[in-house]
Amino acid sequence: MSNIIIGTAGHIDHGKTSLIKALNGYEGDETKEEKQRGITIDLSFSNLKKAQQNIAFIDVPGHEKLVKNMIAGAFSFDCVMLVVAATEGIMPQTVEHIEIINLLGIKEIVVVLTKKDLVSKEQLELQKETIEKFLKEFEFDIKFICCVSIYEEKSIENLKDKLFTLKSSSKPQENFFRYYVDRVFSVKGIGTVVTGTVLGNQISLDEKVFIPHLQKETKIKNIQVHNQNALEANISNRAALNLQNIKATELQRGDLISKKGFLRGFDTLDISFKCLKGKELHHNRVYSLFIGSKKVEVKVLLFDSTTTLEEGFATIKAKEEFFCIYKEKIILREANDTIAGGIILNSVNDPMKKSQKKLLLNALYEKNIKEAYNILLQAHKKGLGLISSAQRFALSHDEAINFGKNLEEVFCDDKELVIYPIFTKEYIKEQIKQIYTKNSYALLSNAAIKLRIKWASTAFIQTVLDELEKENFLIKDKNLYRNANIKEDFAKNLEDIISKRLEEEDLAPTAPYNIYDDLDIDRKLGDNILKSLCSKKQVIRLQHNLFIHANSLSKVVKQMKEIIKEDGYIDINNFKDKYPLSRKYLITYLDYLDNFSQIKKIDNKRVFLKE
């Protein structure tokens, strides 16, 4: 089914809600307060169907004090239905609504002149000409202008026919689902339900979604699209989602629901902005920022060294985190005054110099993603995750990989989804050379080297190992790499080195993994060497991570027996008096005494059995 969201715009009392009711029978002003005051206070949602076409209507309030609610709805629009009463023409809220629609980059518009029955044909034509002239300033794509009266069924049917000629949503598909909550409530026996518009990608029943500000994953228990149960909700569907194990009190209008792993939260955003005619943004001033259905107080810091600007770059700072993507639209207001519209350029707070940031923002403003990648790689010498491209550049998974592969002077690991500036390869090479120069008998696998250079992917490390092998610096032995200058038997030499080290460490031997790290040998290889030494009885394993040289063990057993002869017993106290070792070693050696038949344990003491 094709979907399109049409949002109303226009001055108060110009007939927006009555027009929606005439089109589909939906009574938008539902609350008692709305009915008493005769105005739409909040957003209302309804739809109109014809065969496989579905039009969703978002009816917004026209009162100047309720523009914030209008903006919350406008972010979802595919097309605007500008409603103008033929009796009054363009009024202040008509202008402000159109300015906001223009700032949000919504270009498709239909014009409906209402109350045609109350004016002459001449007046009607004059109003049409005036509206067309007014809209030309904004470069809208005017699909049609239609004159109606809610009391003339033929005019309403004509409008319906024209609306169904509109093409379905042109919102770009992303590689993950996004959804701004505009309403949240709890239904007895069902649980928490949210409503909103599907952005980015479709969502299916029983699919897991993520609520970033709560850092909680939940499951979709039920989906309703226009009050009908559905198996999925597509882009531009108005959808109600029943969330599992989430309390209604945990959510509010403006919260984002998405997929896990795609969005990181930051309390700053970098934007490009343009003010309305005659307006300016002031440096270091607090404004209300609108994004999706969210409203938040922010401080605006102009990027250029100036106190006011009509257009340019700015950094937005808030007391809470944003979970945004590249090219999302924002509105900035001050009190009841709309000041500027903006586009998010940089939604990830990168540690970089201001000069670098300016270059990045220019590249992003020009949609030069290739240049933006190159600038970011200067700040991310240890790798830039391609998974972040969904947030940084609104790229799909495949698009991000293709960009990475086509960049010059980079290494793209499309398995681990990381790109590295190619010059960092020399840093990895130097690190590996230092290991094998320091320890001539170093014998390491790719995985063991990664433990030392954690930020580098295994594929990137492998390219360096391949080069060092070609340069005859390393020789590959199965999956291990050894120094090419050492010709003798590695295994025998390493056995001798480890055995000698344990003998020197005597009663306080180092844990195996620490020995492996010190000697720069692979852990699996190290374990095999210790097994070999144990089978030859040169080394004795007393615990999982405690290996002692056989000579040292014999010596300590002899000395412990001497203590029993002198004191009549041995326990941790008199043992420690003569051998100030840590409790780990003392207890292990005392436990080892239990292997001897002539020694008996009584409470915490060991004594000789009486003959």
CA–CA gap between residue 371 and residue 66 (Å, rounded): 42
What is the structure's pLDDT at 167? Answer: 83
Contact 376, 384 (CB under 8 A): yes
For strand 53-59 and strand 2-9, is the pairing parallel, antiparallel, or unpaired? parallel
**Residue 48 pLDDT > 50:** yes
What is the structure's pLDDT at 40? Answer: 31
What is the structure's pLDDT at 68? Answer: 57
Average the pLDDT over 143-166 and give the result: 93
What is the structure's pLDDT at 105? Answer: 84
Say what angle helices 490-505 and 523-535 make with each other, to 10 degrees. Answer: 70
Q: Residues 376-422: pLDDT tens digits?
A: 998 898 999 988 898 999 888 888 888 888 899 999 998 999 999 99
Q: Which of 73-82, 304-313, 335-344 has the highest mean pLDDT?
A: 335-344
Residue 59 confidence class, pLDDT cut points 50, 70, 90: confident
- Quickly list DSSP for 349-361: -----HHHHHHHH
3-state helix, strand, coil split of the chain in percent (to 5) is 35, 30, 35
Average the pLDDT over 460-469 and give the result: 96
What is the structure's pLDDT at 42? Answer: 43
CA–CA gap between residue 274 and residue 280 (Å, rounded): 9
What is the structure's pLDDT at 492? Answer: 80
Quote the percentage of the chain above a pLDDT of 70: 93
**Residue 34 pLDDT > 50:** no
What is the structure's pLDDT at 6? Answer: 87
Average the pLDDT over 180-198 and give the result: 91
Residue 9 confidence class, pLDDT cut points 50, 70, 90: confident
What is the structure's pLDDT at 213? Answer: 95
What is the structure's pLDDT at 360? Answer: 95
Least confident of 69-83, 190-204, 323-337, 437-451: 69-83
Provide the token pair at 97. 């609504």
Say what angle helices 523-535 and 512-519 make with each other, to 10 degrees. Answer: 120
Provide the token pair at 116. 């045609």
Q: Residues 565-608: pLDDT tens digits?
A: 999 999 999 999 999 999 999 999 999 999 998 999 998 899 99
**Residue 250 pLDDT > 50:** yes
As a whole number, the mean pLDDT across the chain is: 88
HSE-CB of 33 using CA atoms within 13 angstroms: 3
Residue 263 confidence class, pLDDT cut points 50, 70, 90: very high
What is the structure's pLDDT at 54? Answer: 81
Contact 503, 469 (CB under 8 A): no
Q: Residues 269-282: pLDDT tens digits?
A: 999 999 988 899 99
What is the structure's pLDDT at 29? Answer: 41
Provide the token pair at 527. 């374990």
What is the structure's pLDDT at 73? Answer: 65
What is the structure's pLDDT at 41? Answer: 30
For the beta carbon of residue 215, count every other beta carbon within 10 angstroms. Answer: 9
What's the 3-state SS for 83-129? EEECCCCCCHHHHHHHHHHHHCCCCEEEEEEECHHHCCHHHHHHHHH
CA–CA gap between residue 466 and residue 484 (Å, rounded): 13
What is the structure's pLDDT at 35? Answer: 34
Q: Residues 107-150: pLDDT tens digits?
A: 899 999 999 999 999 999 999 999 999 998 888 999 999 999 99
CA–CA gap between residue 407 and residue 428 (Å, rounded): 20
Provide the token pair at 50. 């014809």
**Residue 32 pLDDT > 50:** no
**Residue 469 pLDDT > 90:** yes
Kindly report the backbone phi and psi dihedral angles of residue 37, in degrees, each rounded to the nearest multiple of 5, phi listed first.
Answer: -85, -20
CA–CA gap between residue 66 and residue 31 (Å, rounded): 15
The residue type found at 281 is L
Q: Residues 534-558: pLDDT tens digits?
A: 999 999 999 888 999 999 999 999 9
Q: Tell me the pTM.
A: 0.75
The residue type found at 309 is L
Contact 56, 45 (CB under 8 A): yes
